């Protein structure tokens, strides 16, 4: 229960004076986190993962933050320098939340997987089109129009000895 919980309505809280500004490195990290959260929401949301769980040493318990709430907290942290991270989550189902470490690890894997897949796709497409007598410049312009990189500057006609 909540017995012994300290009163956090602290009148000593400095109302004026320089708010401790985040330095550029911290702000960059927060912006990156914010982007990550948006990608995670898009990628994991449809899989039924609603957010991330953080252990909070202050409350001595896990906080479940849905992606939107997490993004909101990060934005607030960027703008105001503090985050309302202790907001209680609404009846979370732990199965629907992953740890932030897991989320970040997933994201790393996902991004390199996605990059690899796109690279493979464009090189397959280029091979396919070339075999249908497309000219190299036509292939390149199609790939560019699709937002794909042309597969390497190296000439990959003929077998590459790996
Ligand atoms: Zn807390």
Q: Which tokens sit at 46? A: 């449809």
Q: 46-101: per-residue pLDDT in tens?
A: 999 999 998 888 888 888 999 999 999 899 888 887 776 676 666 789 999 999 99
| CA–CA distance, 63 with 76 (Å, rounded to integer) | 17
Distance 66 CA to ligand 1 centre (A): 15
The pLDDT of residue 145: 87
Whether residue 153 lies inside any domain: the answer is no
Can you give the pLDDT at residue 147? 81
> Does any domain span residue 121?
yes
Against a cut of 0.85, is the pTM above it? no
Question: Do 111 and 87 lie in a common domain?
Answer: no
Same domain, 93 and 130: no
Centre of ligand 1 to C-alpha 73, Å, is: 13
Distances 9 to 13, 20, 67, 122 between C-alpha atoms, Å:
9, 20, 27, 58
110 and 95 in one domain?
A: no
Residues of the chain with pLDDT > 70, as a percent, come to 75
92 and 112 together in one domain: no
Q: Reduce the DSSP state of residue 151 to 3 states and report it.
A: coil
Note whether 61 and 30 are same-domain residues.
yes
What's the pLDDT band for 33 if we cut at 50, 70, 90? very high
pLDDT for the residue 148 = 80
Find tokens 């602290």 and name the residue: 10
Ligand 1 centroid to residue 63 C-alpha, Å:
7
Distance from the alpha carbon of residue 88 to the mean position of ligand 1, in angstroms: 8
Quote the domain boundaries for residue 32. Answer: 24-99
36: pLDDT strictly greater than 80: yes
């Amino acid at each position: 229960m909540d017995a012994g919980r300290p009163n956090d309505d602290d009148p000593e809280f400095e109302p004026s004076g320089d708010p401790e500004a985040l330095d550029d490195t911290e702000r960059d990290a927060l912006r990156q986190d914010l982007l990550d959260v948006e990608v995670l929401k898009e990628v994991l949301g449809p899989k039924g993962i609603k957010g991330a769980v953080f252990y909070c040493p202050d409350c001595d318990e896990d906080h479940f933050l849905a992606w939107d709430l997490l993004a909101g907290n990060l934005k607030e942290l960027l703008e105001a320098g503090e985050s309302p991270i202790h907001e209680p989550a609404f009846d979370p189902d732990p199965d629907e939340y992953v740890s932030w470490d897991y989320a970040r690890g997933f994201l790393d894997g996902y991004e390199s997987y996605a990059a690899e897949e796109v690279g493979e796709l464009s090189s397959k497409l280029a091979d396919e089109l070339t075999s249908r007598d497309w000219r190299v410049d036509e292939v390149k312009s199609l790939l560019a129009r699709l937002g794909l990189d042309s597969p390497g500057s190296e000439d990959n006609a003929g077998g590459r000895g790996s």
